Each structure stands twice: as structure tokens, then as C-alpha cells.
Copies of this chain bind each other. A is one copy, B any other.
Amino acid sequence: MGASLRDIARLAGVSVKTVSNVVNGYAHVSPATRAKVEHALSQLDYRPNLSARNLRRGRTGVIALALPELDAPYFAELSRFVIEAAAELRWLVVIEQTDGSLERERQILDGVRDHRVDGLILSPVAIGVDELAARTDDTALVLLGERIHDGPADHVAIDNVRAARDVTEHLIGLGRTRIAALGAQDNSASGTAPLRLAGYRQALAAHGLPETVAKVERYRRHEGAAAMAALLGHRPDAVFCFNDLLALGAMRTILSAGLRVPEDIALAGLDDIEDGRYSTPTLTTLAPDKAELARIAVDLLKRRIDGLPGHPPQETRAGYRLMARESTLGR
């Protein structure tokens, strides 16, 4: 089971207390003694029991990342970056899936009181501002990727309204005039859908163009395929899908119907998942800076865990880029 502090002390010729002071990084140890202890530590391949040490500090060294579903590529890609950013702090990341359900989001917000994690990064779908504000627990919390106006916790996201306007302006700039939106939602009060819809509408209004809006329940390929089938009757010449999965589903429907992308219908998504870079045609999309989103979320959480409970919640924006590809530009 590895060397004990007693073994180290014996080898270094010092007291167990001195070894403990070195291992815990306390200052009042002379450089010579510290060197002796460190030599013994390395000779005996000593490993601190991080679990016990963290517990003494009231910490577990583990944070939770709660997101709708790991098998949606956007969240898998984002998780990759969160795990990498957390690893720099020697934090481990537990991943929890909410499936976008209010009950699961509540359970997870509640569950942080089980003390198994030091803090939570939550990508909320269903939970509202009021409920978050009424939270009595003070475990560190950062909201990631959905905008909750004047929210009760630190929050990082891209500017969804402006991003959606930029995508729509791109389609307008190509001369398209019957531009549909695919991805509005009935049940989303605080989520992304209303923000992206607002950006789409701003761009259309600026050019006096009419709107066509298709709703979905969830942002998955099969819903994009089904909603696109219904949209075909409206003969759009372009479709802005509110995420890439919806767009890839829609692309499948358009091509299966014998229509061409972009000649008959130009298509754009949002997320820049890898799939869209290899589809035929490749998918025009908007790329949120996922590495920046993840880094900011981890930094905000660290500040809260290190003890800034009194500070007002902070709103932070991450950057994005429009990636124009074959599905709007042609080959």
C-alpha cells in the first residue's frame, strides 16, 4: 500500500510531524530539512492520500459537469475541454446527464450537497431563474452555455442573439429571401431557442424579409429530419438550423427528397461539431470557442470554490466564428 509518513520520517531522520509539515506544504521547515524529507519521499515513492487530504480541507478534488446528454457531439467536445482545463488544477470531473429534464436538473443541483464534489458546472435547459435564485445551498455553481438573464450564479456563454443574427445575415448576403428557422421550442423560457429566434428575426426585419419557423422538442438529428420534411411544403430557399445536429438531420431529408444543397436549399447550423466538416456537402455553421467557454467556466468555479461567496454573479462572453462551407457556398 505504499510508504507511510513514519517510513519517511525514519529514512529522513526527522519526526513524523516534520514530514507532515513538508507534505502539507507548510512554510516553517528549514530548506535543509525539507530537502532531506523530499529525498526520502522520492526514494520511497510516497504518494499522498489526496482523498483524505482533501477531506481535511473540506474538499474532494472533484467537480461535477452536468449537461443534457454526452452523446450529443457538442457536449462531448465541450466536456473534453472542461476535463482538460480542470486537469490543470488537478481536479477530476464527474459527468452527470440531465436529459434536459427539470427533475434531473433539480436532483443534480440538490445532489451537490452530498459533499462528493466541490462545485458544479451546469448547462441548464429546463430550470428557471426563479428556482435558481431560491436555491439555499451555497456550493459553488457556474452556469455554462445558456443565458439566464440577471441570474443568481456566474455564467458564461456566447452572445446567442448576435450569433444567430450573423448566420441569418450570411444567408441573406447570398441572395436568399425565403429563409426558414428550424429549432424554435415551445417549452424553453430561459434557454437558447428564444435567443437564436430573436437573432434570426432581427436580421429578417432589417431586410424586410418574411419568417417561417419550425419547432422541435430536442436538438437531435431525427427531429431535424422530421421538421425539415414539414418545412419542404413552404419551399424555403435557405434554412438556419439552431444547431448542427438539426442541420445534419435536415440535410438528410433534403437530399433524400432529391433536392440539392445549396442550389435548391442553403443550409446552416450552429456548434461546429466535427460531423459537419465531413458531411457532403460540408456544413456552414457558427463555431463557439469551446475551449474558451470551458476555460472560463473552470476559472469562475475555482474563484467560487476558493471563496468569493459574497461577490455578485458574473456574466462572461466567449467568442465565436462563422464557418462558411459548401452547404451555403456550393462546391
> Contact residues of A with B, CB < 8 Å?
2, 47-52, 54-55, 60-62, 64, 69-71, 73, 76-77, 79-80, 83-84, 92-97, 113-117, 221, 225, 248-249, 251-252, 255-256, 274-275, 277-280
Contacting pair A49 B114 (CB below 8 A):
yes
Identical copies in the complex: 2
Known pairs A51-B55, A60-B116, A69-B80 / 12 extra A-B pairs, C-beta < 8 Å: A48-B114, A52-B115, A60-B60, A62-B116, A73-B73, A76-B76, A80-B97, A92-B94, A94-B94, A221-B274, A248-B275, A251-B278
Contacting pair B116 A50 (CB below 8 A):
yes
Q: A116-B62, A274-B71 are in contact. Are A93 and B92 (CB under 8 A)?
A: no
Q: Which residue, A116, A117, A255, has most C-beta atoms of chain B within 10 A?
A: A116
Bound Cα distance from A249 to B279, whole angstroms:
8
Contacting pair A115 B76 (CB below 8 A):
no
Residues of B within 8 Å of A62, CB to CB, are: 62, 92, 94, 116
Shortest Cβ distance from residue A270 to the other chain B in the assembled complex, whole angstroms:
17
Residues of B within 8 Å of A256, CB to CB, are: 280
Question: Which residue on B lies nearest to A279, using beta carbons?
Answer: B279
Shortest Cβ distance from residue A38 to the other chain B in the assembled complex, whole angstroms:
19
Bound Cα distance from A280 to B252, whole angstroms:
6
